[in-house]
Amino acid sequence: MTDSAEGVLPDHAIRALIEAGAIRAATPIDAGQVQPASLDLRLGDVAYRVRASFLTGRGRRLADRLPEFEMHRMALTDGAVLERGCVYVVPLMEALELPPEISAVANAKSSTGRVDCLTRVITDDGTEFDRIAPGYAGPLFAEICPRSFSVLVRPGLRLNQIRFRRGEAVLTDAELEARHAGSPLVSGGDGALIDDGLGFSVDLSPGPGGLVGYRAKPHAGVIDLTRTGAHAVEEFWEELRPEKGHVILDPGAFYILVSREAVSIPPDCAAEMAPYVAMVGEFRVHYAGFFDPGFGHGVPARGVLEVRCHEAPFVLEHGQVVGRLVYERMASLPERLYGADLASNYQGQGLKLSKHFRA
């Protein structure tokens, strides 16, 4: 593979985009923002409270649409609380001037999703969240909606990440079958379920003390997203210990569960977790979806599931297929791999809350 090949751009190609000015920021980009297959994005210094979530629309800028929806604004410089159930727009420090052959996709970082903080990237001229068209030139904004907990944020906090692609990157089912036959992409569960990606199921078998997962407590306090290991689990989460092999999901409630299968992302691949088809139940799994090259490679690691039930109570059974991993080829190998060369929070993980909580 070469730097001109199709696929997801690795760390050294992202650094080349920064050096060429295709990714720029008034505050210099820190080396630690560059991940094996993505770039962490940083919050700017002001948040706009808006009446509703919105997209800019074709041919329109966010700066022109914001007055329609803005309720008030607040500085983040000394830290500010974004309240549960409210919608905010925050300009990001990074802006883009992409080459015409490069597109991008954004997603919430794992720690963001695990505290049920819905965050999506908006662009000017945008008709989709988290999708950046080839050759886009302009600013980036984060829409932030804390769902279960109010959160404290500051400028420079990294809630989102962005992945860059050249051309077609998704591996076909036939390619996944061949890769799995040569070196297993998944272990445990019922083996590899390959159908428009690699399927995975939920593990509701009792762990230590009968624990199978967590449910967010209503009316909890504020989570300071700038602090690691600072919050007591019991103040924010109820432990799930069902007596039978299923959990009844309540509409509007948020759960942290874990996949039955351990997954492996080879060094020449990246992956994104996508929800399973809606016909399997009225719930959504995983709001934070990027898996970097090297995740679970040689060190068994399961996928943490961020589950929200929608319209009606739903019985989630042990072993039920709930989502899929879409694998993508890398344009070239990254210089560093997840877990091997980085201080990665979730390598080798099982059921695990975000890094903000005490072990």
Q: Which two tokens stand for residue 12?
A: 């050294």
Task: Note the pLDDT of residue 278.
Answer: 52
Mean pLDDT of 55-76: 96
Q: What is the pLDDT of residues 96-136, one digit of tens each?
A: 999 999 999 999 998 999 999 999 999 999 999 999 999 99
Task: Note the pLDDT of residue 350.
Answer: 77
3-state secondary structure at position 358: coil
Residues ≥6 apart with Cβ < 8 Å to 21: 97
Residues ≥6 apart with Cβ < 8 Å to 279: none
- Nearest CA among 304, 261, 303, 305 for reference residue 283: 305
Q: How confident is the model at residue 142 (pLDDT cuts 50, 70, 90)?
A: very high
Q: Choose between 349 and 215: higher pLDDT.
A: 215
Identify the CATH assignment for 7-166 out of 2.70.40.10, 3.90.1150.170, 2.120.10.30, 3.40.190.80: 2.70.40.10
Read off φ and ψ for residue 206, nearest 5 degrees: -65, 130
Q: What is the pLDDT of residues 216-263, one digit of tens each?
A: 999 999 999 999 999 999 999 999 999 888 999 999 899 999 999 998
Is 307's pLDDT higher than 70? yes
Instruction: Provide CATH 2.70.40.10 ranges for the chain.
Output: 7-166, 173-329
Q: What is the pLDDT of residues 317-345, one digit of tens each?
A: 999 988 889 999 999 999 999 865 555 55
Asked if residues 17 and 24 have their Cβ atoms less than 8 Å apart, the reply is no
Average pLDDT for the chain: 91
Q: Which two tokens stand for residue 14?
A: 């992202």
Output the CATH code of domain 173-329.
Answer: 2.70.40.10
Q: Choose between 284 and 24: higher pLDDT.
A: 24
| Amino acid occupying residue 67 | P
Rounded CA-CA distance 57/186 in Å is 40
